[in-house]
Amino acid sequence: MVVSTNLAAASPRCPDWATEDAPIVTGTYKHYYTKNKSLGIGLPFAEKAYYWTKGVWFEMPFGYHNPWPIKRVASAIFDKERYKKFLSTVNAKGFDPETEKYNPELITQGGVPRPFVFWMPSLRYLERNRLNVPNSRPCEAGRKAPTKNEYVVKFRIDWPFLADSENSDPVRSFRLAAERLATDGKLPLQDSKSFEHTLNGPITGDKSYKIYYDDKDLAVQFLCWPFIGIDASRNPICRGRVWQRSTDLVLYMSFPSDHGQVKHDKRWLEPVNAAISLAKKWRK
């Protein structure tokens, strides 16, 4: 059995409403589950929206918030004062309404930071709800079908440019890896027959592989699914953490594994640097 390396060709055909000659979607929308028929446009993608995490404010077009937030959240993030009121009611954020600062003692339940989604290499937002899109190269109304060099990247901001990132919880795996390399000279599972590893040599892509990289400023750790051969998954991705020491920024990311590493080609640098640049651009 031969599996095509062109993942766009292996994707399902575009829905009838997502043809190239259809109008470009400019806002959120709903679909009938049976016929996938559009019910109309909702919240505007291009309008300015806000995001707050651990005391740091970000501002970006609403379309980058994906999967689309529920109505209660979505309607609040367009207005900063309204968003502050929303944050003060959420027990997983740590927003102190009196000081408008981050107070971890206010967190009484767990929560995952909001994800953002963008296209590579254009960096534009996705015009479909990621919650209902099963692959990394989805068709969009009014757009050409994506090629294998066009793909969707998802990321969240785990540590938002705050000092002392080296001692933060999201960086724990990097600390452990450095300790293991210093004592044993190898990482756990580095020599496992189930994985390929970038520290061991070139990546073939026909089995799961791990990426580890650290140039003392940028550090990454990704687990990637095979993208060619009989074990290739339908939507093979890389997912893992990125830490940029110089800016105290930590991201958790995912993107197609054929844009992770191929042989010695560090393709992951492009989506990683793009996500970092967007986070910097959005920071207020």
Question: Is 34 contained in some domain?
Answer: yes
Name the pairing type of β-strands 196-197 and 209-214. parallel
**Mean pLDDT score, 92-118:** 92
For tokens 């003392």, name the residue. Answer: 216
Cα separation, 181 vs 37, whole angstroms: 54
**Mean pLDDT score, 221-240:** 95
**246 and 167 share one domain:** yes
150: which 2 tokens? 């066009």
Question: Is 129 contained in some domain?
Answer: yes
**16 and 145 share one domain:** yes
Q: pLDDT digits over 160-177, tens only?
A: 999 999 999 999 999 999
**140 and 173 share one domain:** no
* Domain encompassing residue 232: 156-282
Q: Which residues contact 168 (CB under 8 A, 6 or more apart)?
A: 159, 162, 250
Tally of domains within the chain: 2
**163 and 142 share one domain:** no
Cα separation, 284 vs 274, whole angstroms: 18
Write down which residue in 149, 175, 202 finishes a domain.
149
**43 and 112 share one domain:** yes
**66 and 194 share one domain:** no
Q: What is the pTM of this model?
A: 0.91
Helix (H) or strand (E) holding 271: helix 269-282
Question: Is 144 contained in some domain?
Answer: yes
Higher pLDDT, 109 or 202: 202
Amino acid at 180: R
**138 and 28 share one domain:** yes
CB 135 within 8 A of CB 15: no
Q: Which residues contact 74 (CB under 8 A, 6 or more apart)?
A: 28, 43, 62, 65, 68
Question: Is 15 contained in some domain?
Answer: yes
Question: Is 225 contained in some domain?
Answer: yes
* pLDDT bracket for residue 79 (50, 70, 90): very high
Q: pLDDT digits over 19-68, tens only?
A: 899 999 999 876 433 345 555 567 899 999 999 999 999 999 999 999 99
